[in-house]
Amino acid sequence: MIGLADPSAAARIGRACQTTGFFVVADHGVPEPVVEAAWSTARQFFDLPLSSKLAVRAEGVPYGYDPVAAEALGRTRHDGEDAPDAKQSFNLGPPNRGPGTGFGSFDRIWPTEPYELRPAWLSYYSHMESLADALLSLFAEALGLDRAYFEPFTREHLSALRALDYPEGSVSIRAGAHADYGTLTILRPDPAVGGLEVWVDGRWLRIPAVGDGFVINIGDLMHRWTNGRWKSALHRVVADPEGRRRASIAFFHNPDWDATIEPILTDPGGRPAFPAITAGPWLQAKFEAALAP
């Protein structure tokens, strides 16, 4: 676990990103009541009748409600599996972003109940933005860059907040093996029911929930940005032996729609391992690939 106030935090984060792409942070500044409000309102929403939840479904766009089996994360990999995921989700994009290009042009869809969900989620989203900014500053320091290096690429970021509910059942793989798409993910996993696994050195390792910490992992765009130096690791969600219901909340930090992502070459004579790409179309292609058939 890495304390963000630790003077060695940037160096430790850099080592973790080079080895597994996963680490846990403490001293993050997110009040526990903010987390609890997001947890409780998400659970209340998922406990509603399906007809109520489907009223805020937006098919083919990344925001709103998605029912069980609407997504197949394994399909985002060329060699992935087609099996749909055994989960339902509620998804929120940048709440204050007006109409614009790409994901920014989609409406934000809010359920009418529970009425506490909207303020709870707006508060949580704001805290996640601040935490992501702090992490990106440490990322830049770990890479030997100015701490403000990533700011020009994220001023109108298209980050998504997602509550995930994995119903009780015997399905062994609840979310297929995949890598995240963007810069970084901030995950609060279920403290009581595990299931998150990461592929390390040819085997699946279980990631435990740790107190009030957040699990952080980098995504494909940060992998490309660092010229492959940092790992965007495969991970999945499996059921525990009892098949218990599981929950998590994930904040997927993404750059601006039109941000150009090209390898940062910090080694003399280094060569780019990836061509430059535009963040928005890359993210949209990944989202569309995950739509279950």
Query: 23-60: per-residue pLDDT in tens?
Result: 999 889 899 999 999 999 999 999 999 999 999 997 77
User: How are strands ordered across the β-sheet holding 2-3?
Assistant: 2-3, 22-26, 214-218, 184-189, 246-253, 160-166, 88-92, 64-66
pLDDT at 263: 96
| Amino acid at site 37 | A
Between CA 19 and CA 200 the distance in angstroms is 9
SS3 86: coil
Give yes or no: 246 in active site: yes
Q: What is the DSSP string of 221-264?
A: HHHHHTTTSS----EEEE--TT---EEEEEEEE---TT-EE---
Between CA 189 and CA 207 the distance in angstroms is 9
Question: How big is the chain, counted in residues?
Answer: 293
CA distances in angstroms from 191 to 13, 187, 212, 241, listed in the order given: 23, 12, 9, 16
Omega within 30 of 0 (cis) for the link into 62: no
User: What band does 76 get if pLDDT is binned at 50, 70 and 90?
Assistant: confident
- Whether this prediction's pTM lies above 0.85 is answered by yes
SS (H, E, C) 91-106: EECCCCCCCCCHHHHC
Angle at 63 (CA atoms; ends 58, 69), nearest 5 degrees = 70
User: What band does 80 get if pLDDT is binned at 50, 70 and 90?
Assistant: low
Position of tokens 């970084």? 184
- Catalytic entry in 75, 188, 224, 246: 246
Query: 164-194: per-residue pLDDT in tens?
Result: 999 998 788 999 999 999 999 999 998 889 8
Domain spanning 2-289: CATH superfamily: B-lactam Antibiotic, Isopenicillin N Synthase; Chain (2.60.120.330)
**Tokens matching residue 152:** 């020009």
**Tokens matching residue 99:** 């109409």
Q: What contacts 76, CB < 8 A, 6 or more positions away?
A: 178, 179, 181, 286, 289, 290
Torsion of CA 281, 291, 263, 22, to 10 degrees: 150
Closest alpha carbon to 3 in 23, 24, 26, 22:
26
Say if residue 209's pLDDT is above 90: no
Query: 117-134: per-residue pLDDT in tens?
Result: 999 999 999 999 999 999
Say if residue 78's pLDDT is above 80: no
